[in-house]
């Protein structure tokens, strides 16, 4: 799935903000945990110095291998430890290693603290450790002494709970911040992309017939401003080139029309002479047909060139569209008399039409002429009806049809579906282009459906509005 630029910008801003926020909050949380541990460490160091001094002074005999009155001193030491640490939530383990009789004393919060410590804890390196004892988090100092091993711990649960709650709050903050930044980033990206959207909408409206239009000016001096200026200059160059082509087409058609008209007249006069041989008459007939065909091409080119520049005088008036269709229907019937083709006026409602009568006549005649050219046998159906908010004209035939892959190009100028169609009909490839322009000039739409070797259906819809139509 492709994401729009504004969506990608919003996601990018959100990810960047989230990354920075996560780093900052992680650093704060890490600093908090570290500060809590350092406070506990300082308190443990103070207690370690006090206890070491106590042992080395008042209970020094306990550090000797063969001390006397060890039991009474030991009981006194344990009592001293309990009195000092049991209400502080602390504990102490003192280990006197001896080859003869190693001794272990402990006191404070936990009664069986040696059993609650990890099995190899006293053999670890000196340092501070975070242990969970009886479901509570404790900070423990392990220190090797000249006379043995000293382990001291203090309850760190409350501080840890505060830190954990802070981390949980951070998670909520990050979640809400993520949603807020995502929404804010979307809005900011939308605002930032407004000039792009405006330029895209303006560019969508620029066609070959209104190249005078330009992209809206952009006040900023950033990259997008440079792009708008560049595109407007490019459109200006395209307009200049198209104008030259259109002017050349009009000039060429105008220059060719007069000599072709003269040539046609001379050929018609020569053809009317009575003393012509049969071969000469046939040759003159073929030449005259070619001149007439070329004159039609020139007229079509002139019309299309004028339609491109908007200079063709579309003269609209109110007339009966159904009467025009009936007139063309009668002409097509005459043209199809000697061919195995049946022409049917399937449905014809009375419709008053506001438009250029000559252009509409040409439109309908061109479509019927194409149907006759490319239908060898079968039928041609014509229909005129009011369908909803549109006036529907449909012509369908049982002709040779059009390949599906070539349907999108049939309205291109000078485009011919294939050689067999061109050669058989002798068309110039401009007829459907003219039909499309006439339909668009009257605010309508044209649609073609076709199946190869089964026939073609062309549907024209004109909007049923007071400016165009008034139902009879």
Does 396 lie in the same domain as 262?
no
- Number of Cβ within a 10 Å radius of residue 384: 24
Closest CA to 329 of 282, 291, 361: 361
Edge to edge, what strands does the sheet with 351-355 contain?
Answer: 317-320, 351-355, 469-471
According to DSSP, residue 135 is labeled T
Domain end, chosen from 280, 309, 338, is at 309
Q: What does each C-alpha distance from 65 to 57, 68, 96 come to in angstroms?
A: 16, 10, 9
Does 256 lie in the same domain as 132?
no
Note whether residue 336 is domain-resident: yes
d(CA 293, CA 366): 14
Question: Which CATH number is 63's domain given?
Answer: 3.30.450
Edge to edge, what strands does the sheet with 390-397 contain?
Answer: 341-348, 378-387, 390-397, 455-463, 445-451
- Number of Cβ within a 10 Å radius of residue 418: 11
Higher-confidence position of 350 and 422: 350
Note whether residue 218 is domain-resident: no
Does 115 lie in the same domain as 21?
yes
Note whether residue 204 is domain-resident: no
Look at residue 418 in the predicted model and tell me its pLDDT: 59
According to DSSP, residue 399 is labeled S
Look at residue 424 in the predicted model and tell me its pLDDT: 46
Does 403 lie in the same domain as 290?
no
- Number of Cβ within a 10 Å radius of residue 368: 22
Note whether residue 444 is domain-resident: yes
Overall number of domains in the chain = 3
Confidence of residue 68 (pLDDT cuts 50, 70, 90): low
Note whether residue 178 is domain-resident: no
Does 52 lie in the same domain as 25?
yes
pTM above 0.75, yes or no: no
Does 346 lie in the same domain as 278?
no
Does 328 lie in the same domain as 253?
no
Instruction: Evaluate if residue 458 carries a pLDDT over 90.
Output: yes
Does 455 lie in the same domain as 340?
yes
Q: Decide: 342 and 379 in contact? Cβ < 8 Å.
A: yes
Note whether residue 205 is domain-resident: no
Question: Which CATH number is 253's domain given?
Answer: 1.10.287.130
> pLDDT exceeding 70 applies to what percent of the chain?
89
Instruction: Evaluate if residue 370 carries a pLDDT over 80.
Output: yes
Look at residue 421 in the predicted model and tell me its pLDDT: 47
Q: Which domain holds residue 248?
A: 223-309
Q: Of 51-60, 267-276, 414-423, which gets the smallest average pLDDT?
A: 414-423
Q: Decide: 339 and 458 in contact? Cβ < 8 Å.
A: no
d(CA 361, CA 321): 9
Look at residue 185 in the predicted model and tell me its pLDDT: 73
d(CA 217, CA 400): 52
Question: Which CATH number is 446's domain given?
Answer: 3.30.565.10
d(CA 26, CA 167): 9
Most confident of 212-221, 308-317, 349-358: 349-358
User: Residue 142, exposed/middle/buried by CB under 10 A (0-12, 13-18, 19+)?
Assistant: buried
Note whether residue 183 is domain-resident: no
Does 132 lie in the same domain as 18?
yes
Does 390 lie in the same domain as 263?
no
What is the pLDDT averaged over residues 16-32? 77
Length of the chain: 472
In tens, the pLDDT along 135-171 reads 788 888 999 988 889 998 887 766 666 666 766 777 7
Alpha helices in 128-222 (DSSP H): 157-205
Domain end, chosen from 137, 163, 189, is at 163
d(CA 328, CA 334): 10
List of long-range contacts for 143-148, beta carbons under 8 Å, 24+ apart: 143/48, 145/52, 147/55, 147/56, 147/63, 147/96, 148/63, 148/94, 148/95, 148/96, 148/97
Confidence of residue 363 (pLDDT cuts 50, 70, 90): very high
- Number of Cβ within a 10 Å radius of residue 85: 22
List of long-range contacts for 194-197, beta carbons under 8 Å, 24+ apart: 195/220, 195/224, 195/228, 196/5, 196/224
Instruction: Evaluate if residue 394 carries a pLDDT over 90.
Output: yes
Does 264 lie in the same domain as 123?
no
Q: Of 92-96, 228-232, 426-430, which gets the smallest average pLDDT?
A: 426-430
Note whether residue 169 is domain-resident: no
Domain end, chosen from 309, 330, 355, is at 309
Does 284 lie in the same domain as 143?
no
Instruction: Evaluate if residue 51 carries a pLDDT over 90.
Output: no
In tens, the pLDDT along 249-306 reads 766 766 777 787 888 788 888 878 878 888 888 888 888 888 887 777 777 777 777 7
């Amino acid at each position: 799935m492709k994401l729009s630029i504004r969506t990608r910008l919003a996601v990018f801003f959100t990810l960047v903000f989230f990354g920075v926020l996560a780093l900052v909050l992680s650093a704060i949380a890490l600093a908090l945990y570290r500060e809590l541990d350092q406070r506990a460490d300082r308190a443990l160091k103070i207690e370690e110095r006090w206890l070491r001094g106590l042992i080395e002074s008042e209970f020094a005999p306990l550090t000797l291998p063969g001390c006397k009155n060890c039991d009474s001193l030991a009981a006194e030491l344990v009592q001293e430890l309990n009195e000092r640490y049991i209400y502080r939530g602390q504990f102490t383990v003192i280990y006197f290693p001896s080859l003869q009789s190693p001794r272990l004393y402990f006191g404070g919060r936990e009664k069986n603290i040696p059993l609650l410590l990890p099995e190899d804890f006293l053999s670890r390196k000196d340092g501070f450790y975070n242990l969970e004892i009886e479901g509570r988090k404790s900070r423990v100092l392990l220190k090797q002494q000249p006379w043995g091993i000293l382990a001291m711990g203090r309850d760190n649960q409350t501080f840890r709970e505060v830190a954990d709650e802070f981390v949980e709050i951070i998670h909520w903050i990050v979640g809400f911040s993520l949603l807020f930044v995502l929404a804010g980033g979307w809005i900011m990206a939308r605002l930032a992309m407004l000039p792009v959207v405006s330029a895209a909408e303006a560019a969508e409206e620029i066609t070959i017939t209104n190249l005078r239009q330009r992209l809206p000016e952009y006040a900023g001096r950033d990259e997008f401003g440079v792009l708008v200026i560049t595109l407007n200059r490019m459109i200006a160059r395209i307009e200049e080139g198209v104008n030259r082509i259109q002017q050349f087409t009009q000039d060429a058609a105008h220059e060719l029309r007069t000599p072709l008209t003269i040539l046609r007249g001379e050929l018609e006069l020569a053809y009317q002479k009575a003393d012509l041989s049969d071969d000469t008459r046939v040759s003159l007939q073929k030449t005259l047909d070619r001149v007439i065909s070329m004159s039609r091409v020139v007229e079509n080119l002139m019309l299309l060139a004028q339609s491109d520049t908007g200079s063709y005088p579309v003269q609209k008036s109110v007339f009966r569209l159904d009467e025009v269709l009936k007139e063309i229907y009668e002409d097509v019937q005459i043209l199809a008399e000697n061919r195995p083709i049946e022409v049917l006026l399937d449905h014809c409602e009375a419709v008053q039409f506001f438009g250029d009568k000559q252009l509409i006549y040409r439109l309908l005649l061109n479509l019927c002429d194409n149907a006759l050219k490319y239908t060898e046998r079968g039928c041609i159906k014509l229909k005129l009806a009011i369908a909803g908010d549109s006036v529907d004209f449909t012509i369908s035939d049982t002709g040779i049809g059009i390949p599906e892959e070539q349907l999108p190009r049939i309205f291109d100028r000078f485009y011919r579906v294939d050689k067999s169609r061109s050669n058989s009909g002798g068309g110039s490839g401009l007829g459907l282009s003219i039909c499309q322009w006439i339909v668009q000039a009257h605010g309508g739409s044209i649609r073609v459906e076709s199946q190869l070797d089964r026939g073609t259906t062309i549907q024209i819809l004109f909007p049923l509005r007071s400016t165009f139509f008034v139902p009879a």
